[in-house]
Amino acid sequence: HELANQLWELFIKEHYGATSNQIIEEFCEAISRFATLADLRLYLSKIRLIAKQMERLANDPTADYVRLLSIHTSKGMEFDTVFVAGAVDGILPDTSHETANIAEENRLAYVACTRAKERLYVTYAKSGAKESTQPSRFFAQYFTTDRP
């Protein structure tokens, strides 16, 4: 906790201005796997190196890589090829809570599809961990039953 509080004061609080005890607790839990400050610094330096490599790739139009994004994050972007994975009814639209806004979920599905400039692939699993599933009602018109 002492290390977490020091890091909190030096970096997180300065950048994010948050003072919530819950955030501090989550932060403590996240760094608890590091035995020493040196271990944490080594991990953070590796993360910084990876971030720099990813930034270089993102700015290189000839680079060959895959970018994973949430639908929300992809707003305003376009890609030659887009895969929308997990287009299962109950997930998209998210009906896990009583206040599900189907119109907003439909808009998000539209956003996902319109990110593709050339090719769009929409996938779903016919069965989940516990039961069979149905394709998302937003994409059902694009699915065919004659494909595996």
Q: What is the pLDDT of residues 27-43, one digit of tens each?
A: 777 778 888 888 888 98
Give the separation between CA 58 and CA 67, rounded to whole angstroms: 9
Q: Which sign, positive or negative, has the C-alpha torsion 6, 12, 14, 18?
A: negative
pTM for the structure as a whole: 0.55
| Comparison of pLDDT for 120 and 61, the residue scoring more | 120
Q: Which sign, positive or negative, has the C-alpha torsion 85, 87, 88, 91?
A: positive
The contacts of residue 54 (CB under 8 Å, 6+ apart) are none
Residue 118: pLDDT band (50, 70, 90) is very high
Distances (CA, A) of 20 to 9, 28, 30: 13, 13, 16
